[in-house]
């Protein structure tokens, strides 16, 4: 799970003092620590290249060492941190090429996934769920203007459709690899959707992406594997364009996390 609205207290005493966490569910405290640390990185409170020592984070956030250690390890796995040879971590930075290649890899895997869905025949139940999901996205995009709640709803539904596409393929190998790629910074299906929320063209771009969703589903239902694959690979081009435009607009419209990306020189 990758929540989009990080919460968690930056003060207080260790784990057992959190009143909303029942005894015996330590993962809830680990999630709080993870969300808080991730937010600090994406908001620039911990800038790119900054060294992070476990004890310093424990003192700053008020959690015990166990959830902090788990959070740091998870953020390393997500690609936001680098483990240092002498202990501790450093906040990772990314080149525009790094992010572009991660998006390209996602498009390649999702294209393969869509082709397998078409060639093998997707389960009718999952096809029905995908159709309902896209109808819900249509309802969101029917609004003449999109507010923050509408964008949030779109992000959730978009993630759901892409997850259903992966499930339809019936391939545990591809599903596992897609989960790994989605965990790369900015490579998720909605990695730059929120970044474009203030653009006057944002709704139009989502409508184009939504049309591609429907076309992919149609290709899968018609068992047109090559068409489904090509459509999904083209779908990732939208994210590539959003990456370029977000970097160009960063000076006037700062976006959390994007400051970790440095443009090509």
| DSSP notation for 83-103 | E-TTSSEEE--EEHHHHHHHH
In a domain, 10, yes or no: no
pLDDT tens-digit series, residues 84-121: 998 889 988 888 888 889 899 999 999 999 999 999 99
Is the whole-model pTM more than 0.85?
no
| CA distance linking residue 17 with residue 24, whole number of Å | 13
In a domain, 2, yes or no: no
pLDDT given at position 12 = 37
- Maximum C-alpha span of the chain: 58
Task: Please tell me whether residues 140 and 40 are part of one structural domain.
Answer: no
What phi, psi does 220 have (nearest 5°)?
-65, -45
| CA distance linking residue 190 with residue 177, whole number of Å | 17
pLDDT tens-digit series, residues 19-50: 333 333 436 788 888 888 887 887 778 888 88
| CA distance linking residue 60 with residue 259, whole number of Å | 23
| CA distance linking residue 103 with residue 94, whole number of Å | 13
The whole domain housing 150 covers 95-262
Task: Please tell me whether residues 154 and 197 are part of one structural domain.
Answer: yes
Task: Please tell me whether residues 182 and 114 are part of one structural domain.
Answer: yes
Q: Which of 92, 113, 136 is the last residue of a domain?
A: 92
CB 49, CB 88: distance < 8 Å? no
pLDDT given at position 41 = 82
| CA distance linking residue 154 with residue 94, whole number of Å | 27
Task: Please tell me whether residues 47 and 104 are part of one structural domain.
Answer: no
Task: Please tell me whether residues 142 and 255 are part of one structural domain.
Answer: yes
Task: Please tell me whether residues 73 and 201 are part of one structural domain.
Answer: no
In the predicted structure, residue 258 carries a pLDDT above the cut 50: yes
In a domain, 1, yes or no: no
pLDDT tens-digit series, residues 148-180: 788 889 988 999 999 999 999 999 999 999 988
In the predicted structure, residue 232 carries a pLDDT above the cut 60: yes
Q: Which of 56, 73, 92 is the last residue of a domain?
A: 92
The CATH number linked to 196 is 1.20.120.530
Q: Which of 65, 92, 119 is the last residue of a domain?
A: 92
- Exposed (0-12), middle (13-18) or buried (19+): which is 199, by Cβ within 10 Å? middle
């Amino acid at each position: 799970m990758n929540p989009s609205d990080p919460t968690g207290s930056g003060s207080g005493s260790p784990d057992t003092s959190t009143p909303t966490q029942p005894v015996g569910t330590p993962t809830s405290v680990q999630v709080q620590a993870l969300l808080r640390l991730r937010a600090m990185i994406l908001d620039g409170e911990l800038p790119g290249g900054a060294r992070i020592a476990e004890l310093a984070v424990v003192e700053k956030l008020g959690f015990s060492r166990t959830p902090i250690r788990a959070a740091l390890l998870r953020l390393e796995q997500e690609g936001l941190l680098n483990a240092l040879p002498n202990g501790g971590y450093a906040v990772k930075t990314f080149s525009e090429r790094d992010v572009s290649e991660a998006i390209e890899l996602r498009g390649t895997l999702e294209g393969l996934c869509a082709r397998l869905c078409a060639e093998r025949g997707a389960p009718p139940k999952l096809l029905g769920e995908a159709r309902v999901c896209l109808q819900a996205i249509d309802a969101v995009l029917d609004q003449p203007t999109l507010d923050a709640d509408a964008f949030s709803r779109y992000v959730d539904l978009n993630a759901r459709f892409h997850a259903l596409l992966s499930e339809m393929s019936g391939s545990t190998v591809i599903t596992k690899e897609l989960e790994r790629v989605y965990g790369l910074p900015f490579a998720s299906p909605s990695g730059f959707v929120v970044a474009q929320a203030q653009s006057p063209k944002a709704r139009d771009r989502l409508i184009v992406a939504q049309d591609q969703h429907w076309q992919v589903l149609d290709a899968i239902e018609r068992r047109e594997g090559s068409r489904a694959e090509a459509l999904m690979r083209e779908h990732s081009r939208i994210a590539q364009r959003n990456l370029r435009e977000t970097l160009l607009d960063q000076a006037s419209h700062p976006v959390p996390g994007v400051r970790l990306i440095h443009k090509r020189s």
